Amino acid sequence: MRRLSTPLSPFTMSQPMPLEETIQENHEENHAENQETYHLQSINSTILIRQLPSEGLSFQLWPAANTLVTLLDHHRHHDTNPLSSFLNTNHRLRLLELGSGTGLVGIAAAALFGASVTVTDLPHVLPNLQFNVDANAGILELHGGAVNVAALSWGDVQHMEALGREYDVILGSDVVYHDHLYEPLLQTLRFFLLGSEKEVVFLMAHLKRWKKESAFFKKAKKVFHVEVMHTDTPCNGSRVGVAVYKFVRKGGEKLNSMLSQSKLM
Ligand SMILES: C[S@@+](CC[C@H](N)C(=O)[O-])C[C@H]1O[C@@H](n2cnc3c(N)ncnc32)[C@H](O)[C@@H]1O
């Protein structure tokens, strides 16, 4: 886990660091378990996350996840603008996370805001995701958070329809990487952001790695306003730091009818 640098405007905040890390060799299943704990300052609580690095990228924590959790924790502490415009609701916050991986972001968000969160990923990732949700059941209960684990393969209409559209905010960290996933991810965003009665925000933490990623943003900007909300100072010799983007649909009107048009789906 890399150490995060001091972020740039609009936020100044201290970064949560893993408090401890233990590597446990599981010889029977021939994989290493790596358990990390994260302290959420605003609620003085610690979250435990199991990674299974040998199982693949879906079982590891990515730097953008840490940045997004830090941003949410800081907001919870200081009620920062402009996050308050969509995180402060007069009902229980309903969040959906895409490509949750180990689940740190969704579990932390549920605890921080006492929110109802659905964490999602490809079916084979769900057992570890559920393990991490269960490992944090006590913290979630203490803070009134609830986390549901569900399959969502981006662009899978059956999965998306099963989840419904009753969300205030969609979360994602490090979900833009392979170019063949750009279109399914955009299709998923169009489903949840364009198909809702109300304005739904997609809050995405992203570390730019390749020039080709600009194709994702170019396509996204055809239907969404995309705004940078936060940027980390680059560290470890990188030229860029993790950025957090806010996506909202263009135009205030309900765009349900557009979903059926081939241009959008
Ligand atoms: C780079 S990892 C990031 C994981 C986690 N969000 C984090 O920041 O630690 C990308 C995640 O997207 C998921 N993913 C990849 N392709 C997907 C797809 N087609 N549908 C849904 N999730 C997908 C992966 O399983 C993985 O958990």
> What's the CATH number where 119 sits?
3.40.50.150
Instruction: Tell me how far the alpha carbon of residue 170 lies from the centroid of ligand 1, in angstroms.
Output: 14
Nearest-CA residue for atom 1 of ligand 1: 174
Task: Dump pLDDT digits (tens) for 128-170.
Answer: 999 999 999 999 999 999 999 999 999 999 999 999 999 999 9
Which range of residues forms the domain containing residue 76?
18-259
Residue 11 inside a domain? The answer is no
Residue 144 inside a domain? The answer is yes
> How many domains does the structure of the chain reveal?
1
Task: Dump pLDDT digits (tens) for 66-91.
Answer: 999 999 999 998 887 789 999 999 99
Instruction: Tell me how far the alpha carbon of residue 90 lies from the centroid of ligand 1, in angstroms.
Output: 31
| Residue 134, pLDDT score | 98
Residue 99 inside a domain? The answer is yes
Residue 139 inside a domain? The answer is yes
Q: State how far the alpha carbon of 224 is from the alpha carbons of 12, 135, 202, in Å.
A: 27, 36, 10
| C-alpha closest to that of 176 among 247, 110, 92, 239 | 247
| C-alpha closest to that of 43 among 153, 141, 119, 174 | 141
Contact call for residues 134 and 71 (beta carbons, < 8 A)? no
Residue 93 inside a domain? The answer is yes
Residue 6 inside a domain? The answer is no
Ligand 1 within 6 A of CB of 56 = no
| Residue 82, pLDDT score | 86
| Residue 4, pLDDT score | 31
Instruction: Tell me how far the alpha carbon of residue 175 lies from the centroid of ligand 1, in angstroms.
Output: 6
Distance CA 241, CA 238 (A): 7
Residue 65 alpha carbon, nearest atom of ligand 1: 8
Substitution candidate for ligand 1 out of 61, 71, 122 with most atoms within 8 A of CB: 122
Ligand 1 within 6 A of CB of 65 = yes
Residue 101 inside a domain? The answer is yes
Packing angle of the helix pair 104-113, 126-135 (nearest 10 deg): 30
| Residue 260, pLDDT score | 46
Per-residue pLDDT of the chain (265 residues; tens, 9 = 90+): 333 332 222 222 333 333 233 334 343 444 567 999 999 999 999 999 999 999 999 999 999 999 999 999 999 988 877 899 999 999 999 999 999 999 999 999 999 999 999 999 999 999 999 999 999 999 999 999 999 999 999 999 999 999 999 999 999 999 999 999 999 999 999 999 998 888 999 999 999 999 999 999 999 999 999 999 999 998 877 789 999 999 999 986 445 445 545 444 4
| C-alpha closest to that of 23 among 65, 51, 61 | 51
Nearest-CA residue for atom 26 of ligand 1: 58
What are the beta bridge partners of residue 35?
22, 50
Nearest-CA residue for atom 25 of ligand 1: 58
Residue 111 inside a domain? The answer is yes
